[in-house]
Amino acid sequence: MCRLMLYLGPEARLSSLIVEPRHSLIRQSVHSEEREEPLNGDGFGIGWYASELSLEPAVFRSITPAWNNRNLQNLARVVTSDCVLAHVRAATQSSGVNEANCHPFRWRQYLCMHNGDVGDFRLVRRKLLASVCDEAFGNVYGSTDSEHFFALFIDSLLGLDERDPALRMAQALARAIDRVLALVGSAGEGGDSYMNIAISDGEHAVVSRFTDAADGVPESLYYFTGQLYPDIGPKAKRKGTQAVTVSSERLTADAGWAEVPPGQIIILRRDRAPQFVDARSGEVVAPPARAARHTAA
């Protein structure tokens, strides 16, 4: 089922985001608290943007667990970025542990990662691939449901005219979720889908929290508006924007963490507070009352 974390804000050091918090993602790789099975040891991945150097984000992925990976600890100490995605994986039996199956996945400037499952994926895979354009098809290198879903997202994005890039991503994500559910409905055997998906282009990000399971309870997902980490000096001030962190589990004991409402997509922009849209229709919804309270704090 995996755990994931996304950060958009002023430049921050990777270690402040993924190593140092009390319940950091690396900690969650060993001891996640909101999954039945606490272990996410089947590899990990980090993606980050260094926009002044390259529009294409960097990705560092490994099939060894995150908790004792020295390269990761080294990178985390010296890499800074204003947009970071990180993921620790719990592999399902059907898709092997190899680098092609580690999140985040990349296409052009976009990164995508997933916490969840596409229902009956083995039955759905073929129709899914047949339904997307060559560009999206050609970006599939491995065998995970997550990477195949990303192809649906790419295909949906390419078909949209929306000019606002954040809204376009959110609409494409909603459309892709809608399409995958339709595919599971027609080719699957009634399996539930869990679709906590995080996607960014380096300047904006969208993260869904969704399931079609009968009980309506998706995987956990939280967000925090504000700065979680120590100031790293002049660099951090380059962009006078707010920081937002979205994570499968609360990284700290701060009261400011709020749940992303079930069935919604949170939209992050550098210059304004998070916005919410419906995870299937893509239409804007009012911000959650509880979350509003926290962010106002």
Give the footprint of a copy of itself on this chain (CB under 8 A): 13, 30, 39, 41-42, 48, 50, 52-54, 56-65, 67-71, 74-75, 77-80, 91, 95-101, 122, 125-126, 129-130, 134, 137-138, 140-143, 232-233, 235
Shortest gap between Cβ of 169 and a copy of itself (angstroms)? Answer: 22
Task: Report the DSSP pairing between strands 258-259 and 222-225.
Answer: antiparallel
Measured from the CB atom, the residue of 129 and 160 that comes closer to a copy of itself is 129
Shortest gap between Cβ of 189 and a copy of itself (angstroms)? Answer: 14
CA dihedral of residues 52, 232, 206, 190 (deg, nearest 10):
120
What is the number of other CB atoms lying within 10 angstroms of the CB of residue 243? 22
Shortest gap between Cβ of 87 and a copy of itself (angstroms)? Answer: 15
Q: Annotated catalytic, 133?
A: no
Which among 17, 69, 20 has a CA at the least distance from the CA of 44?
Answer: 69
Query: Which tokens sit at 283?
Result: 């239409």
Which among 235, 260, 234 has a CA at the least distance from the CA of 246?
Answer: 260
Measured from the CB atom, the residue of 78 and 214 that comes closer to a copy of itself is 78
Q: Give the CA count within 13 Å in the CB-facing half-sphere of 260.
A: 37
Measured from the CB atom, the residue of 42 and 219 that comes closer to a copy of itself is 42
Measured from the CB atom, the residue of 111 and 181 that comes closer to a copy of itself is 111
Q: DSSP 3-state helix, strand, coil percentages of the chain (rounded to 5)?
A: 30, 30, 40
Total residues belonging to the chain: 297
State which amino acid sits at residue 138.
G
Measured from the CB atom, the residue of 137 and 262 that comes closer to a copy of itself is 137
Shortest gap between Cβ of 46 and a copy of itself (angstroms)? Answer: 10
Residues noted as catalytic: 2
